Amino acid sequence: MSEDEATNKATERRFVEEIWNKGNFAVAKELVTPEYLDHDAMTSGVGPDGVRQEVSVFRNAFPDLRFAIDDMVAEGDKVVTRLTASGTHEGDLPGIPATGKRVTISGIVISRYKSGKAAEAWFKFDFLGLYRQLGAIPARRGAPDDQTR
């Protein structure tokens, strides 16, 4: 692994721990470029302010939100991270009032780095599973979380 790849992985870990897990938005300017772009559909802005806006939506809905890093691979300017997120739905998630339910979902993030900072990211999380756990959409019949049995 190159020195740049190792640095990018360390920055990605810090991004997850400081911003997502702790809500420490003060470090966003250290970790992302001013033009940082998140290709997730919930993104409402770019750069550190866009990160703060997006993370705040989830941290407000799940105050005890915690991301665990399951795997991380770096190659060139990209870092791929497989994560498991869990938290208790205690605040409004746009369109879904607080349910008090504890949820767990998994996902993958691909981040592109530029000069040691995240410049771009693509997120894919199991939001269908999240909405099922919250009761916002029905579970599949016969699935482990099926409440109709």
The per-residue pLDDT for range 93-139, each reduced to its tens digit, is 988 999 999 999 999 999 999 999 999 999 999 999 999 999 999 87
Topology annotation, domain 3-134: Nuclear Transport Factor 2; Chain: A, (3.10.450)
Q: Which two tokens stand for residue 2?
A: 């190159």
The reported pLDDT for the residue numbered 95 is: 87
**What is residue 148's predicted lDDT score, i.e. its pLDDT?**
47
55: tokens are 């993370």
| 13: confidence class by pLDDT, cuts 50, 70, 90 | very high
CA-closest candidate to residue 27, choices 43, 13, 44, 9: 13
- Does pLDDT of 144 surpass 90? no
Q: Which residues pair with 84 in a beta bridge?
A: 68, 106
User: In the prediction, which pLDDT does 149 show?
Assistant: 39
pLDDT of residue 40: 77
Each residue's pLDDT tens digit, 59-93: 999 999 999 999 999 999 999 999 999 999 999 99
Percent of residues, the chain, with pLDDT higher than 90? 83
pLDDT > 60? residue 147:
no
Cα separation of 17 and 131, whole Å?
A: 24
